[in-house]
Structure 1
């Protein structure tokens, strides 16, 4: 059977590693990719209760590492860990890093970043965004979301519209992990010579990854932490720009109609809370509309027990139904101006 549309597939296996080489792939094939009308990222979009969501973009992200060492500081152990009995007279790089990290957020509200200028370029929700948020607030299954995430409470027990606005329009500064010294079984009496913390910031329009790292650097310097290094994982693409597609785009409206044809009324998100390299397709030079959509259920992304439901049940569709949906979706696209 002949397909009703022309398809170009872009598949890459480095997403969890930062998609380091995808940008090169796109740059090398701009001429070919520019012939496309839109981009679709297939995905299992049903939650555990079977409700369908689709997102029209994503937050950006920049990831980096802070390193505090006695060698750079000129204080504390400078070459190797020493016996902890000297902690009374030798300073600790680990405590110095902890104090530096603590200076970046408000103790009364750890989601509030105190880095000067951190929120300067944050764009407020558009009228289109607020319309989508209001519709989401009426139907968002917060209990299902808590269950999937394994959390008992959201921030300050927000719910509904307030919860969505906080989630979607808050730039984050998250500590992925902290390590230094001995972390094995039982104890080891050492005073470490170095400590590191891996951080990330989730960005929204119109923030940039570059300005975020620069503001962190200035904050550290102004608070006396000029010795703490920022490692940016050069060449690993540990940064993605934010991406947005208008809800008025043809591909969005056609996808919503396809969902309805299958008996679903999708929850349409202005963008997802996570990040992916969508911007490589939605911004210069391609400037294509990009959405994520599909039926079926999967969860625990990036975890060792990430899963996808194959058979389906009375609540969520299985792989066979997902395949049928994509066939129908392509037929809808064939009669639509997708841009």
Structure 2
């Protein structure tokens, strides 16, 4: 292990050069800017490792598939994406988002945290291992898509049509992070799912003078009444059957909450709030954040909300709601229960449109890969890891891993102040090097399992 880590440190400038080259190449999938050039750059880096590389054609941008098969008993796959978010607002960047800037031990560039830093770290880990040991301890696969930032519309089809390419014993997914304040690394083994809907209520054929509100139904009020039936002031979701199929946490998963570092006072100060919902704190807060479903009003629209007074009776009202769902729940289940709930409460006229949906995904906490990742991280970082059964947010893990028993872990090179999708996106150089070591160490130990 010492020789491997020494190799990584001695070649840190080379690996940083690879990363800066990727960051200097725009690859904005939403605008088709630089995608071809970025794809070719990634392919070249993989081919330089000796990987067999294939462009898998999709209805959108190609998925890059790379494989290094040395006949090992186990295969480890890396999932990443080579596209990034647009850099707007440009005025808030301290430097050109596509000219990577290294300053005071940090790298600033669009995509450096999400997700090019992790691509470079995984390629570097393979390179370092090859230089020290020759053969890798496991077979390695790379699945690097170009559409994660636009919802991964072709990832599920790739999985269905390419079962051999997806065949693996475990997966390192996209990326993870490290605390800025105490440098503790994060490890997570899944994500919540999401069911995002829009509810619409229709009234008169067009907006009316508000005096008509004495005799003509107001869609805005009707929508408010419907929303009031979904959740009570104690934060319980009132849709019948909503909680019925949620899988119980195992004792090992409950133990993960003990490792979580959630600075409640700092968070409240940062958000400028007095308390968390229902006064929740401690372990219950951590469990609720990562393991409980939610029902969140994301936006409401009805009538006139412009400056000044406009006495109007709106003809339309709509709301966007997201449900974060957990293992045992599905987007379809939520839609069906929501439709039944609204009908039973006298709101058959309210339309429901599903705008997005992702299944939750969680690795089996008893799978040996889980402990392999945890122990590998402990050998690299001096600080104890924060271990999460799953993240509070969602990602397309299920599109690739649904109906498989493939365990997946999220570790990476970002930090809690990386400004994902925002101006001055950044990582620390030290976190990048540590991320290379962690990836190499996971490969080493997984080959021993």
Note whether the superposition's TM-score is higher than 0.5.
yes
> Contact 1:281 / 1:288 at 8 angstroms: preserved in 2?
no
> Contact 1:298 / 1:306 at 8 angstroms: preserved in 2?
no
2:153 pairs with 13, 20, 27, which one?
20
Matched, 1:337 2:446: yes
2:199 pairs with 66, 70, 93, which one?
66
The 1-side partners of 2:323 and 2:439 are apart by: 36
The 2-side partners of 1:95 and 1:149 are apart by: 30
Alpha-carbon displacement from aligned partner over 1:82-107 (angstroms, at most 9, x marks no partner): 1112112212011101101111111x
> Contact 1:113 / 1:173 at 8 angstroms: preserved in 2?
yes
Matched with 2:383 is 264
Please report how far the alpha carbon of residue 184 of structure 1 lies from its aligned counterpart in structure 2 after TM superposition.
1.9
The 1-side partners of 2:337 and 2:147 are apart by: 32
Please report how far the alpha carbon of residue 252 of structure 1 lies from its aligned counterpart in structure 2 after TM superposition.
3.2
Matched with 1:122 is 246
> Contact 1:281 / 1:287 at 8 angstroms: preserved in 2?
no
- More contact order relative to length (CA 8 Å, sep ≥ 6): 1
Matched, 1:325 2:434: yes
Higher helix share: 2
Change (3 A) 1:171 1:191: same
The 1-side partners of 2:439 and 2:418 are apart by: 28
Matched with 2:395 is 276
Alpha-carbon displacement from aligned partner over 1:133-190 (angstroms, at most 9, x marks no partner): 2343xx5432344455554421232221122233233221111111111122222221
Q: C-alpha root-mean-square deviation of aligned residues, in Å?
A: 2.5
Q: Which runs of 5+ in 1 are unaligned?
A: 71-76, 311-317
The 1-side partners of 2:439 and 2:289 are apart by: 32
Please report how far the alpha carbon of residue 32 of structure 1 lies from its aligned counterpart in structure 2 after TM superposition.
1.0
Matched with 1:208 is 330
Matched with 1:297 is 415
1:105 pairs with 193, 213, 231, which one?
231
Alpha-carbon displacement from aligned partner over 1:236-276 (angstroms, at most 9, x marks no partner): xx111111113444443343334332312111011111111
> Contact 1:54 / 1:292 at 8 angstroms: preserved in 2?
yes
2:255 pairs with 121, 128, 131, which one?
131
> Contact 1:173 / 1:201 at 8 angstroms: preserved in 2?
yes
Alpha-carbon displacement from aligned partner over 1:174-219 (angstroms, at most 9, x marks no partner): 1111111112222222111110001111111211211111111011
Q: TM-score, normalised by structure 1?
A: 0.83
The 2-side partners of 1:68 and 1:281 are apart by: 36
The 1-side partners of 2:266 and 2:400 are apart by: 32
The 2-side partners of 1:228 and 1:104 are apart by: 14
Number of corresponding residues: 313
Matched with 1:85 is 211
Matched with 1:74 is none
The 1-side partners of 2:365 and 2:309 are apart by: 56
> Contact 2:372 / 2:446 at 8 angstroms: preserved in 1?
no
